[in-house]
Structure 1
Amino acid sequence: MDARTDSASSPQNASARPLIAHDELRTILSNLSHELCRPLISLRAGFDLILGSAAKPISNDQRGHVQAMVVLCDDLLRLTRSYLDYAGLVQGTRPLCYGSFTIGALIREIDRQFAQDATSRKVSWESVMEGADATVSTDASRCQQIFGNLVANALKYTPPGGQVRLAARHEGETWTVVVTDSGPGIPADAISKVFEPFYRLSREEHSSVEGSGLGLAICREMVDQLGGEISISSTVGQGTRVTVRFPVAQPTHGSLASQRN
């Protein structure tokens, strides 16, 4: 046998094989998500028809099975839509939509969305505006998704009896939002990797907490597009702190380009 052929096909050389390029992966994610969403939406509508049909009622056992399938279907829809969101963000198919908003209003919307969830999880929740409020130029939809992802992540990993806090403040030409939790924390050697697409901590792989591995990658992409910065500090066993800083004024195209280079 040719030595070169044997070497190329050996398992120890598998890591040297080229991986899928990022652009190709994004295209695959986008196409796959579109193809999956259509049948899942149809399937979800079918379940609703079964559960709501008065002409052909189903037994309690059957209803329980259908409701379980509804939950699974919703989970799959959220997963595929997260892939679609990420692909759309990095491909630039979701343009920014700037407007004027007060920081307090943006934070109150997050409080409205998550206060009840925190209570149901028996997690202490606090949402505060530190100092005077201010009007900023930003994309409110992007901000809601960023802060929502961070708070949802914090609640997901904080055990009952723990704490999650969202704090915002105006600092001259910037404004900052900080999400802190008392969860398990992140190992120091993993902090630089958590923003990578599909990266999962080993503790997550053996837990019952599920996710797409894209939440923080999506946050970083959106923060970058808004001309901001995002950082994480964490101590294992003590919790995690995520800080997001944005410019008060809408950044120019030039400043955005310089940040990306």
Structure 2
Amino acid sequence: MNRKSFYPARRHHGRSSSSRSIVTKRSRSPHAFPIASLVEEVQDAVCFIDFTRNHLYSNEQLRTICPSMETRRFQNIDGMSRFFHETFEQNGADINDVTLFWDELMTNRFGCCPSMDAKSLRIGERTMQVILNFTHTPRGVFIMWRDITDSIRFEEQKDAFLAELSHEFRSPLTAINGYAELLMYQHSDNDKTHGMLTLVKREAERLERLVDNFLDYQRVNYSEELLSMSTFALRPVLEDVVAHYKATSPQHDVILSADDVTIEADEEKLLQLLHNLIGNAIKYSPDGGTVYVEMTIEGDTYVLSVRDTGIGIPSDAIPYVFDEYYRVDSDAHRPIKGTGLGLRICKRIAEAHGWGIHADSVYGEGTTFSIYLYSHSTTSTTLLTEQETTD
């Protein structure tokens, strides 16, 4: 007997021809699940685009939001593209945003592992969050539409409230600082009174930084749009900050070594970042020591770093120091109070500017925080100069 024909015969032993035809038919079915029924069963507004058959499936929830988004089939992908553009434009969407969204969708649709981040599209008075999940069999994408108009409006109202609250907090703190400075000048010959006024001014400045940190932390969407960008020389800013800590932390030496760089940034936010880092360096050097504020160059990137000789951070805690409310749990750190927000704010300010921030430490020897000012944010440099500020 021929072995080549023997094994197929044994494989189908006991099966009728009709059962074999059913198996063959099922194996060739292009869809393993009823897409239309699946889409209709979803509770959220959702649609599915079948790129293979140029078919759009939608459910009742989506049609309630946008009646034009009915289940239909198109002759080709160009027809589907025109339909989406016309539908969104008729419903008040920004056609440029729609074009960018659709172009990215078309670019990703045939990738080996297609994926897209969630998008926000303004459609008339509504803001819709669009969440995408690509499929391979059939080749297509599920699109979930979530109305986030109320949450966006709430965040806008909260930001306006925080801006007003920030003004209300800063006004009395500015007055306290101003009068404290005036009284310090008038009582410069009385060491005891001058010392008490210095403490008042230092604590008022500390309260101002805590208020800034708290209010900034409440901003969920802290991004470049919220920055007040300007172009300024970096070195004078660093000199002022160093001079501040020379006056308020006499037990620490502060050494500045920096390029004369012109930088584009939000000066107030940069000051907040620097005060957080230098304030931390001093706070976590309770026995005094040296704090280095340095500017170096790595390739075409300027690196602004704050380095101390304090208690350091255990290696297993380094990955978490920028997390919200995180406090290092060690015998040396427990007596030192803090909110766990300062470094988180530093990271958010750096990222909003497009900078990188990195922590490096040797426990018991000191810590270095480095800010990578990528080349687009600096416009000119001169030769490296060095200034030492000691107490």
- TM-score, reference length from structure 2: 0.43
Q: Within 5 Å, give how 1:117-132 maps onto structure 2.
A: 117-119=248-250, 122-129=251-258, 132=259
Letter in structure 2 aligned against 1:177: L
In 2: Cα distance, 1:107 partner to 1:159 partner: 23
Larger fraction in helix: 1
Could you tell me which runs of 5 or more consecutive residues in structure 2 were left unpaired when the two chains were aligned.
1-150, 174-201, 379-391
Q: 1:220: which partner in 2?
A: 347
Q: 1:140 Cα shift?
A: 1.5
| One of 242, 249, 258 as aligned partner of 2:376 | 249
Q: 1:206 aligned to 2:327?
A: no
2:230 paired residue number: 99
Q: What residue is the counterpart of 1:11 in the other structure?
A: none
Distance across 2 between alignment mates of 1:73 and 1:117:
12
**SS in structure 1 at match of 2:215:** helix
Matched with 2:219 is: 88
Query: Which residue of 2 is the match for residue 153 of structure 1?
Result: 280
Q: 2:203 and 2:244 mapped to 1: Cα distance?
A: 22
Q: Is the 8 A contact 2:222 2:352 kept in 1?
A: no
What runs of 5+ residues in structure 1 fail to find an aligned partner? 1-22, 45-70, 252-261
> 1:105 is matched by which residue type in structure 2?
P
Higher relative contact order (CA 8 A, sep 6+): 1
Please tell me whether the aligned partners of residues 30 and 83 of structure 1 are also in contact (alpha carbons under 8 angstroms): no
Q: Which moved more, 1:167-176 or 1:221-230?
A: 167-176
Rounded Cα–Cα distance in structure 1 between residues aligned with 2:325 and 2:159: 15
On the 8 A contact 2:305/2:370 being kept in 1, the answer is yes
State whether residues 282 and 288 of structure 2, in contact with CA within 8 Å, keep that contact through their aligned partners in structure 1.
no
Question: Which has the higher Rg, Structure 1 or Structure 2?
Answer: 2
What TM-score, normalized to structure 1? 0.62
Q: Which amino acid aligns with 1:236?
A: Y
> CA contact under 8 A between 1:107 and 1:168: conserved in structure 2?
no
Give the distance between the partners of 2:281 and 2:361, measured in 1 at CA: 12
- Note if contact 1:89-1:222 (Cα within 8 Å) is conserved in structure 2: no
Q: Which of the two has greater strand per residue?
A: 2
Instruction: Give 1:245's aligned amino acid.
Output: Y
Report if aligned partners of 1:98, 1:138 keep a CA contact under 8 Å in 2.
yes
TM superposition shift of 1:113: 2.0
Please report how far the alpha carbon of residue 157 of structure 1 lies from its aligned counterpart in structure 2 after TM superposition: 1.0
User: How far has the Cα of 1:40 moved from its partner?
Assistant: 8.5
SS in 1 for 2:320: coil
Q: CA deviation at 1:118?
A: 2.6
